[in-house]
Amino acid sequence: MYRYIALFNHAQAHRDGDRAGVDASLRQIGLHLRQRAGHIDLYASDDTPVLDLPDGGALIGHVFSQRDNAPLLDGASLHALSAAQLTRHLIETHWGEYLLLHAPHADPSAITVMREPSGGVACVYALQHGFITSDISIATHAGVYTREIDWDSIAHHLHYPHLKTERTGLVGVRELLPGSQLCLQSNHSSVEQVWNPWDFVAASRRRHDPLDAQAQLRQAVASSVTCWARTDASVLLELSGGLDSSILAACLKDTSARVACCNLVTPVPGADERHYARQMSDLLGTELIVRTLGFDAAPVDFAPPAHAVAPSTWFLQHASNALKEAIGTQLAITSFFSGGGGDTVFCNTRTAAPAADAFHAGGLRAGFSAVHALAELHQCTLWKAGRLTIRKLLAKAGPPRKPERSFLPSTQAAVPLQSHPWFDAPPDSLPGDRERIVDLAGTQVFRDGLARSASWHLRMPLLSQPVVEACLTVPSWMWIAGGRNRAIARDAFADVLPAQILHRRSKGTFMNYSGAVYRRGRQQIGDYLLQGRLAGQGLLDADALRHHFDHTVADGDHSVMRIFDLCAVENWVRHQR
């Protein structure tokens, strides 16, 4: 919901005669000139916070002190800081959802743009077209960019789905990733990392006392939730009934915000968690609004979010988004609260990596204890848990992502992985830390596919900077203590969660619903892919697809999810007009 565009006002970016038309176009969609700093004109919507910096530039979004969560409302405290000092000061002493645009009066050609680690304020840019924006549709409406598909990027997306990199699916458009800074000089640009998750899993930062870890985690989560609740005042909590959203509900209980809760169910078994969700809504003293995801609400072809610069939305996100938007409109809320990212930050791993980490970093005693916990967690024998741990100990670090080649032409040249900056692991890194930081990079796609983020704030408190940092300092083996996943989070909130949720091992799933949607629309889905733009570009294996659609798919066959991934890509490219 933060909406802005920064236009470079030097002659090479825009002809003078164009600027009046651009200005008028931006006013049509509610963006007004908020600041002229050096070579940049900053436009933003009236409800987007913009804090002027005394030495030139602005902070866009919400910024809070890490010490007491006080909002940063006066830029005077940032006076006389260099670009490097300003970035470091904000990263180390503040948090929130913000973008730093530093354009110093003393050197207008030296511009830095920093996106804080949670990525709450979107940032894409096209330097050759002269803009930085939260939403590519703002640039297209203003006439400073025309959508053009980058087919090489689409090929990469097909091979490495659900991976965000700096490269988008549009020609000439890059994304500034969370925790990164774009540095611009007159004839040069570069991107550098200003926040790195590897700093927080270092041995020197690692916590050794579980009680200390629990206290730090609870403080970080509770204060982040409270801060956003105070900021937004009216919240719709997406309450699944799982541990992560239940923790958010517990933290919202004592806030002053008006809180409502929503939950989605399906016509087929598997996703109905109302029994658990209602326990938390009762604790909050609010109604649980339940809506059913019908099969008619899941079309194959639909308009993806206008802000999406790469394929990101599949049918389930689209269908659930429509229901949640309707509830949000009915209740006149300010923001949605989501427990997205909880599995990642709370280290809900399915591998033996925590036990391997314990042997590496804690020695034999810690290692054997972790193997026992691993066996209990996965309900397997000690021998099997031990074998898996030894295999993980002996394994060399592999690539962070392997290509997904199903339904892609075997004759196609290999598509190398475009790395994410967080994939650069230190040489002495632990396998569990490698896995969870790769997963953390994966959470950066969560906001992209959700159209409601264009009209409301979408808060993901568990991915806020203080929470992520607190979780990363907790070693992986602590998270499986007692044979429980997310153990530190469970223990941190044990006194405020109902017993059925605290000790719950099961998890709701939409697999049955997805399978039913596939079976009902198999012919349409097949035609959609075989007659689509991806096939026309030679990016799909038509014979493999025909064979797939000609045969009955067994329940739980994960190839169905691959088909839906392909449909999401096809859908996005069809709508880039």
pLDDT of 220-257, one tens digit each?
999 999 999 999 999 999 999 999 999 999 999 999 99
For residue 155, what pLDDT band results from cuts at 50, 70 and 90?
very high
pLDDT at position 11 = 46
Percentage, residues of the chain above pLDDT 90: 86
Predicted confidence (pLDDT) at residue 342 exceeds the cutoff of 90: yes
Q: Are 424 and 438 in contact (CB under 8 A)?
A: no
Task: Report the alpha-carbon distance of residue 157 to residue 165 in Å, rounded.
Answer: 10
SS (H, E, C) 39-51: CEEEEEECCCCEE
Stretch 348-354: mean pLDDT: 96
pLDDT at position 190 = 96
Task: Report the alpha-carbon distance of residue 527 to residue 532 in Å, rounded.
Answer: 8
Upper half-sphere CA count for residue 162 (Cβ side, 13 Å): 15
Tokens of 402: 């392997």
pTM: 0.96
Q: What is the pLDDT of residues 270-303, one digit of tens each?
A: 889 999 999 999 999 999 999 999 988 888 999 9
In the β-sheet with 40-45, what is the strand arrangement from edge to edge? 31-37, 40-45, 4-8, 131-133, 124-126, 174-175
**Fold (CATH) for 196-401+417-508:** Rossmann fold (3.40.50)
Task: Report the alpha-carbon distance of residue 133 to residue 122 in Å, rounded.
Answer: 8
Predicted confidence (pLDDT) at residue 185 exceeds the cutoff of 90: no
Tabulate helix, strand, coil % of the chain (nearest 5): 45, 15, 40
For residue 16, what pLDDT band results from cuts at 50, 70 and 90?
very low
Task: Report the alpha-carbon distance of residue 551 to residue 274 in Å, rounded.
Answer: 35
Q: What is the pLDDT of residues 528-558, one digit of tens each?
A: 999 999 999 999 999 999 999 998 877 667 8
Angle at 398 between CA 440 and CA 150, to 5 degrees: 65
Stretch 370-389: mean pLDDT: 97
pLDDT at position 12 = 47
pLDDT at position 556 = 65
Q: What is the pLDDT of residues 392-435, one digit of tens each?
A: 999 998 899 999 999 999 988 899 999 899 999 999 999 999 99
80 or 327, higher pLDDT: 327
Among 111, 109, 44, 61, which Cα is nearest to 83's?
111
Q: What is the DSSP code (8-state) at residue 378?
A: H
- Using N-to-C axis directions, what is the helix angle for 243-252 and 274-284, rounded to 10°? 10
- Which range, of 216-225, 315-324, 472-481, averages the lowest pLDDT? 315-324
pLDDT at position 245 = 98
Tokens of 382: 């000690």
Backbone CA torsion sign across 391, 397, 401, 407 = negative
Q: What is the pLDDT of residues 86-111, one digit of tens each?
A: 999 999 999 999 999 999 888 878 89
Other CB atoms within 10 A of residue 79 CB: 9
Determine which helix (DSSP H) or strand (DSSP E) holds 70, and give its type and residue range: none
504 Cβ contact list (under 8 Å, min separation 6)? 242, 243, 276
CATH superfamily label, 4-195:
Aminohydrolase, N-terminal nucleophile (Ntn) domain (3.60.20.10)
For residue 506, what pLDDT band results from cuts at 50, 70 and 90?
confident
Stretch 453-462: mean pLDDT: 97
Domain boundaries along the sequence of the chain:
4-195, 196-401+417-508, 511-574
Cβ-defined contacts of 283-289 (< 8 Å, 24+): 283/249, 283/250, 283/253, 283/498, 284/249, 284/252, 284/253, 284/259, 286/259, 286/260, 286/261, 287/260, 287/261, 288/239, 288/261, 288/262, 288/263, 289/260, 289/261, 289/262, 289/263, 289/327
Predicted confidence (pLDDT) at residue 23 exceeds the cutoff of 60: yes
Residue 234 φ/ψ, nearest 5 degrees: -135, 115
Stretch 447-470: mean pLDDT: 96
Percentage, residues of the chain above pLDDT 70: 98
pLDDT at position 18 = 77
CA 176 to mean position of chain CA atoms? 14
12 or 478, higher pLDDT: 478
Task: Report the alpha-carbon distance of residue 222 to residue 254 in Å, rounded.
Answer: 10
